[in-house]
Structure 1
């Protein structure tokens, strides 16, 4: 009979990893060479949370304030962000242009409706005087 090899699961702790190993992984993740999950898989780290803890302890990212320190974006990342921003602005511009077009058409239609109503009913709908002046004019007419 062949002997069966039994692979035994060995639980590791963070103390099992050397400081240089931890720093190497942190640098690779911060440079964008690996994601947290990829680093855990590549270096056979049991949990991605371990890598995240190393990033919190030894990385350049300020996890308390959620701000970047000395972690500049690569030109490719910046270009991708700007492309996404341009696409968003183009969509917003198209939407605003459509809304302006509709508003202009509505204004033209309302203007035409007022013109038709003025002709049909022979009344002056568009008044050049303010509401306060029209009240004063009505009082003057009533006095005469």
Structure 2
């Protein structure tokens, strides 16, 4: 049982945590979806104190005054956040373009297979569309 729990995630080093990753963990915690320790377990973060440090550094909780007033983000934080979103969108776009390319190849392949089957078996496979 313990091996199953350990195989769900891989321990990371401090350099493995991107700004976008930290912000997504923080947003899950601040939305109430996860607690600090649960987030550390879910994402394989070495210690819950690491998550607490992220919350203090990047979160919306005012640790000095102990209030939940949203702390304004600095221009650098906003810029980093937007850069991470752009990188993520570019990565998603590239993956979708690859999927479209593969789907186009499949459509061409299936079309050729239908042509071959129609010639080989001398039967019409495609339905003829009626003039409207």
TM-score interval (norm. to shorter): 0.3 to 0.5
TM-score if structure 2 supplies the norm length? 0.48
Give the alignment's TM-score, normalised by structure 1: 0.44
Q: Larger relative CO (CA 8 A, sep 6+): 1 or 2?
A: 2
Q: Which has the larger radius of gyration?
A: 1
